[in-house]
Amino acid sequence: TEANAFILNLMEAQAQRDIMKSEFYQQAMPLARSRGDLTEVDREWQKRQPSVYSMPSMAQYNK
């Protein structure tokens, strides 16, 4: 059904975004440690994180 397809696509988009977040944190954490402000990573991710609707698996719902 359409609802099941939407849920599947949403879960895939969330998983894709989780992977992006993990990669971002891995790259940003050393810099934040050297600056002494680990919360900087969280603040930057909040600014940069994409909407689930901008993820490829959700493109069909982004109208």
How many residues appear in the chain? 63
Whether residue 63 has pLDDT greater than 90? no
Q: Distance (Å, rounded) from C-alpha 60 to C-alpha 63?
A: 7
Dihedral angle sign, alpha carbons of residues 63, 53, 28, 47: positive
Whether residue 3 has pLDDT greater than 90? yes
Dihedral angle sign, alpha carbons of residues 58, 5, 46, 26: negative
Q: Comparing C-alpha atoms, which of 15, 11, 2, 9 is closest to residue 58?
A: 9
Q: What is the mean pLDDT of residues 21-29?
A: 96
Q: What is the pLDDT of residues 26-62, one digit of tens each?
A: 999 999 999 999 999 999 999 999 999 999 999 998 8
Query: So what's the pLDDT on residue 62?
Result: 80
Q: What is the mean pLDDT of residues 14-18?
A: 97
* Higher per-residue pLDDT: 63 or 1: 1
